[in-house]
Amino acid sequence: MKATGSPFSGHSEFATTHWSLVLAAGERSNDARASEALETLCLIYWYPLYAYIRRRGYSPGDAEDLTQEFFARLLARNYLARADPHAGKFRSFLLAGINYLLCDERDKERRLKRGGGQKVIPFDEDSAEARYRLKPADKMTPECVFERSWVATLLERAARHLREEYTAAGKSALYDQLTEFRLDGQGQRAYGEVAAQLGQSESAVKSAILRLRRRHHQLVREEIAQTVADPSDVDGEISYLLRILE
């Protein structure tokens, strides 16, 4: 997917997004492109649901099973008919769907049988639980954990694409020096210190950081665009998700 225009202009035009394909599939059947798009979104955003279920008090094993069960039902298209195009956001759809599943899974005996041990999406329980335990032991609600995990996943994907672009251009060393100045970075070092490490002028470093931040912002926009029904919703979603981080 390619965006046109300045990443800060708010007027980028995006190609048909994953989520808009999925919404359209709710009105018809046998849409291979939509099924593939839905599976892609599920592979990307499974962790926020896992974190949400854990914060609801489920054990790591139960959280994995419930996450797998949810995606098993979702990918079987059982839930697509419930997708509301007016809701607009994939994360809202996922949260509503998992709450429905949790209400439907009250019976302990049924929960032991769910999924049949089937791994619907790749799932490293040790990695997922280690990631979850990095979260502060505070009183965040499950909904807050879900949304913060969503933002973290989105920013991680954008940063991964950013690194890949710098590496492909033979600038991996530059990226390593500038990575702390990404949108989600702390950027505590002085520009002069970075300039000394790179053997460049301070003004050149400032320009390089500006380019990196602009490109990261554009990649974040592209990631968000895949999860909203209308490209005009991207800027509002960015503002909302950044407020969550703050």
> How many domains is the chain built from?
2
Do residue 101 and residue 154 come from a single domain?
no
Residue 113 CB partners (closer than 8 Å, separation 6+): none
The first and second tokens of residue 89, run together, are: 């956001």
pLDDT band at 100 (very low <50, low <70, confident <90, very high): confident
Contact yes or no for 149/51 (Cβ under 8 A)? yes
Q: Which among 99, 119, 134 is the end of a domain?
A: 134
**pLDDT over 70 percentage in the chain:** 76
Do residue 110 and residue 206 come from a single domain?
no
Do residue 98 and residue 171 come from a single domain?
no
Do residue 199 and residue 216 come from a single domain?
yes
Q: Is residue 220 part of a domain?
A: yes
The pLDDT value given to residue 42? 87
Q: Is the pLDDT of residue 86 over 80?
A: no
Residue 183 is given by DSSP the state: T
Do residue 147 and residue 228 come from a single domain?
yes
Do residue 160 and residue 126 come from a single domain?
no
Q: Is residue 3 part of a domain?
A: no
Contact yes or no for 128/47 (Cβ under 8 A)? yes
Q: Is the pLDDT of residue 219 over 90?
A: yes
Highest mean pLDDT among 3-7, 34-38, 129-133, 199-203: 199-203
Q: In whole numbers, what is the pLDDT of the chain averaged over residues?
A: 80
Q: Is residue 115 part of a domain?
A: yes
Q: Which domain holds residue 179?
A: 141-246
Residue 122 CB partners (closer than 8 Å, separation 6+): 43
